[in-house]
Amino acid sequence: MAKITFAPGPSKVYDAVPAYFQDAYTQGILSANHRSGQFMDIYRDTERLFKEKLAVPEDYRLLFTSSATENWEIITQSLVTHSSYHIYSGSFGKKWFGFAQHINPAAQAMVLDKNREIDVDSLNIPTDADVLAITQNETSNATQVKNSVLESLVSAYPDKMLAVDTTSSMAGIYLDFSLADIWYASVQKCFGLPAGLGVLLLSSKAVEKVATIGEHGKYNSLSFMLENADNYQTHYTPNVLGIYFLKRVLEDMPSIKHVHEKTESRMQELERLVSASASLDFLVSNEACRSRTVLGVSGTEGFIKEIKKAADDQGMTLGGGYGPLKPTSFRIANFPAITDAEFDRLVSFLKSY
């Protein structure tokens, strides 16, 4: 029996995945040609389901990529006219900035402490920066940027295009997609699927910008990808199985408002536990910055080792700390694929601390 994993990516997959796989095999999807009607229908249905289940606005396009990391490059390549401006507090935001800078040395960044919310009024973003890069849910340090902060950013900088990394929050919490033109994620987090597929959502304004910039010729130039997407096809042989899984997960999930409530109530329960515990401490002390899908707990190196081992002995894997936070923290994925029974087991384990 595999251990229950609470790692925030790759994370626990939905228990229905083996049934989806069997269906894919039976229906010939594993060998389906990506120019076939069968594939085009799956693509069309998946895009429609993003709108129905996740409340993505009607005019947004869904594109498939290989990972969130690939989206970092694609955005700089095809959607930045002059430069991007990155505001981040953790490792994923920093990596995004690194990839952006490599392609476009004019990229700039502002680093925030993990307990500081973005203070929009005090920002001084250069006029020539045309894309604002925000990691909405920073998986590495368990922080988040709230919808309301994104909203203030957009109203303060209406001429800039907002690009939002929601790799570990999309499909786990409600996101107001109308606030930004560029959103992305990958499926091994809140979508509860095996790794190997990224998604990129673009508003019609972003699609227009791709055309204006006109970048082309790379295998993943957005102009080329969008041209294929117009026919519900992809520019290379895609992860058809992963896309099919995604369609099935979206079909079977309740609407995002419902998922959001459950995510929120589970996180509140975990937070009450940490607050009441003598030995557990929040990695993020400022409540306003705390992620709703990833809980970060900090402690001494000895304590972190001990609790991870104790969980392991009980058949549960806690997520390790990330990057520089590895020795002194652990993380818990509060993702929808975790069942109530699994969540209850975690809660009773943590209660003993």
Ligand X SMILES: *Cc1c(COP(=O)(O)O)cnc(C)c1O
Q: Whole-number minimum distance, CB 162 to ligand X, in Å?
A: 16
Task: State which H helix or E strand residue 350 sits in.
Answer: helix 340-351
Q: Whole-number minimum distance, CB 193 to ligand X, in Å?
A: 11
Residue 27 DSSP symbol = T
Query: In 3-state terms, the chain is what percent helix, strand and coil (to 5)?
Result: 45, 20, 40
Residues that bind ligand X (rule: CB under 6 A) add up to a total of 13
DSSP string, 210-232: HHHH----STT-HHHHHHHHTTT
Q: In what order do the strands lie in the sheet with 316-320?
A: 4-6, 316-320, 329-333, 294-298, 281-282
Q: Whole-number minimum distance, CB 91 to ligand X, in Å?
A: 9
Q: Whole-number minimum distance, CB 221 to ligand X, in Å?
A: 19
Residue 328 DSSP symbol = T
Closer to ligand X by CB, 9 or 299: give it: 9
Q: Whole-number minimum distance, CB 135 to ligand X, in Å?
A: 5
Closer to ligand X by CB, 69 or 277: give it: 69
Tell me, rounded to whole angstroms, the distance of Cα 71 from its chain centroid.
11
- Member of 167, 228, 291, 298 binding ligand X (CB under 6 A): 167
Taking residue 196's Cβ as centre, other Cβ atoms within 10 Å add up to: 15
Which stretch in 14-22, 61-69, 146-154, 265-273 sits in contact with ligand X by CB under 6 A? 61-69
- Member of 46, 76, 135, 263 binding ligand X (CB under 6 A): 135
Strand partners, 135: 165
Tell me, rounded to whole angstroms, the distance of Cα 328 from its chain centroid.
24
Cβ proximity of 153 and 182 under 8 Å:
no
- Member of 38, 51, 69, 317 binding ligand X (CB under 6 A): 69
CA 346/CA 343 separation, integer angstroms: 5
Q: Select from 263, 200, 265 the least CA-distant residue to 226.
A: 200
Q: Is 92 in the site for ligand X (CB under 6 A)?
A: yes
- Member of 4, 9, 29, 297 binding ligand X (CB under 6 A): 9
- Member of 5, 108, 139, 234 binding ligand X (CB under 6 A): 139
Q: Is 238 in the site for ligand X (CB under 6 A)?
A: no
Which stretch in 49-57, 145-153, 160-168, 324-332 sits in contact with ligand X by CB under 6 A? 160-168
Q: Whole-number minimum distance, CB 254 to ligand X, in Å?
A: 23
CA 111/CA 294 separation, integer angstroms: 21
Q: Is 198 in the site for ligand X (CB under 6 A)?
A: yes
- Member of 78, 89, 186, 329 binding ligand X (CB under 6 A): 186
Residue type, 125: I
Q: Is 89 in the site for ligand X (CB under 6 A)?
A: no
Q: Is 91 in the site for ligand X (CB under 6 A)?
A: no
Q: Is 165 in the site for ligand X (CB under 6 A)?
A: yes
Which stretch in 43-51, 163-171, 283-291, 328-336 sits in contact with ligand X by CB under 6 A? 163-171
SS (H, E, C) 291-314: CCCEEEEECCHHHHHHHHHHHHHC
CA 258/CA 343 separation, integer angstroms: 17
- Member of 13, 29, 49, 68 binding ligand X (CB under 6 A): 68
Binding site for ligand X (CB under 6 A): 9, 67-69, 92, 135, 137, 139, 165, 167-168, 186, 198
